[in-house]
Structure 1
Amino acid sequence: MKLTLASSLLPLLAAAAPSSKVTRDTAAFGVMSARSGSPIHLLPLNAAGSAFYLGGETESYCPFGNSSALCPPGTETVFAGSGSGLSVEVPGGQEVYVNPSGALSFTVPHSAYIPAGSSLGPFVYTPGTEFGSWTFNGWGASGFMACPTEDSKWQVFAAVSNATVPSGNVDDCLGFDALGVPTNGTAAAWEYL
């Protein structure tokens, strides 16, 4: 009897899980910044600490050990579909959103929690011949901006004038074009941290 009840609940639990998980046939892309003559020109976008940065390193984890054949490399940050989710293997996936301070963020593994007042988009990925483009059109934003941090990275925010940025001054931030770099469509990490 217990087995029957458990097996009847499994489809319901699966349906309740976030839908941002990437499958092998989902379009996937990395992001590189474009702003000529600036310190952020051609920097890769990296996921770290539930936020995104230009510069620094991608932070990922695999429960099987990063050197295991069961683990994707986890060295690059890759988005799925329109860019509203990350290219991961972790059950339930990881969603991308803009938090109430304006920072581009992502959900922690095994949780669909997104703070109240956050925006889920729209995020728009447009494929191109060599590079595509990725943007955020919520809150009247004109895409993204990168803001300097104390550790020489640039944290990524929605390009909105009321963002709460690391220096406290939005004028310190640089707007940039987010170039979409196509990938092979396989999950790039087990999960991002």
Structure 2
Amino acid sequence: MKHFVVSALATLASATTYRLTVFAPGTVIDGADVEAATNGFYLGLLEPSTYCPSKVGTCPPVQGTLVYEGMSGMAVEVPGGQQIYVDSSGMVKYTQAHSSYVPQGAFITGWFNKTVVSSCEPAVHVVDFLAADGMGSGGILLCRDVQSFMDGTGASYQLFVQTAQLDASSCVPAIGLLQHESAAQYGAWQYT
């Protein structure tokens, strides 16, 4: 099957929230849910890692990992939100609650909408990444090198984008991330 790609810039903010799955036809990761935990994104988790202090009153029910359109941020209720970024190693991460700290050298933009056109399948709209640094960093990868602190959680792959520093030998390339619209305004109070 041949795929053709048409790109468009993603909007930076949206009130609509989305759950993410992997679009990688013909691979073991195709259709896998993407869940947030320990400030990263993983496949294989039953649910995201969240926190809600008792003093806030009614906490939103966890709806899975929800993001705003174009990976512009986490769909959380915590004041200040949680921004999504790509660190220099290529790891897709999000900021701690109550902090806007993003490490030096991290990419905070580069997500874009892409339409995949096939000669035998309907068009598919995904989110992909291309850094604006002129170095050609980009493309979605799911890598098996999950940190040891995630042992026992079920995490099987971690979300990365290709960078010069990333050894992608244990990674599976994906065409992009599918965004599934959610009726929930927030996925959780905050993701941890």
Common fold by TM > 0.5: yes
Larger radius of gyration: 1
Show structure 1 runs of 5+ residues with no match. 1-19, 164-168
What pairs up with 1:1-193 in 2 under 5 angstroms?
26-56=15-45, 57-64=47-54, 70-125=58-113, 132-138=125-131, 139=133, 140-148=136-144, 149=146, 151=151, 152-163=155-166, 169-176=167-174, 177-184=176-183, 186-193=185-192
Using structure 2 for the length normalisation, give the TM-score. 0.75
CA displacement 1:113-158 (0-9 Å, x = unmatched): 1111100022124699996411111152342100002645101101
Show structure 2 runs of 5+ residues with no match. 1-11, 117-121
CA displacement 1:42-67 (0-9 Å, x = unmatched): 111111001111221310111138xx
Aligned residues: 164
Higher RCO (CA < 8 A, seq sep 6+): 2
**Conserved 8 A contact 2:35-2:65:** yes
* Percent identical: 29
Q: Partner letter of residue 26 of structure 2?
A: G
Measure, in 2, the Cα distance between the counterparts of 1:127 and 1:191.
31
Measure, in 2, the Cα distance between the counterparts of 1:86 and 1:127.
23
Q: Partner letter of residue 59 of structure 2?
A: C
**Conserved 8 A contact 2:63-2:184:** no
CA displacement 1:1-47 (0-9 Å, x = unmatched): xxxxxxxxxxxxxxxxxxx9x8xx71211110122332212111111
Q: Partner letter of residue 101 of structure 2?
A: Y
Using structure 1 for the length normalisation, give the TM-score. 0.74
Q: Could you say which structure has the higher helix fraction?
A: 1
Q: Alpha carbons of 1:189 and 1:132: their partners in 2 closer, same or farther (altered >3 Å)? A: farther
Q: Aligned to 1:82, what secondary structure does the other structure show?
A: helix
Q: Aligned to 2:30, what secondary structure does the other structure show?
A: coil
Measure, in 2, the Cα distance between the counterparts of 1:130 and 1:28.
21
Q: Could you say which structure has the higher strand fraction?
A: 2
Cα RMSD after superposing both structures: 2.7
Q: Partner letter of residue 191 of structure 1?
A: Q
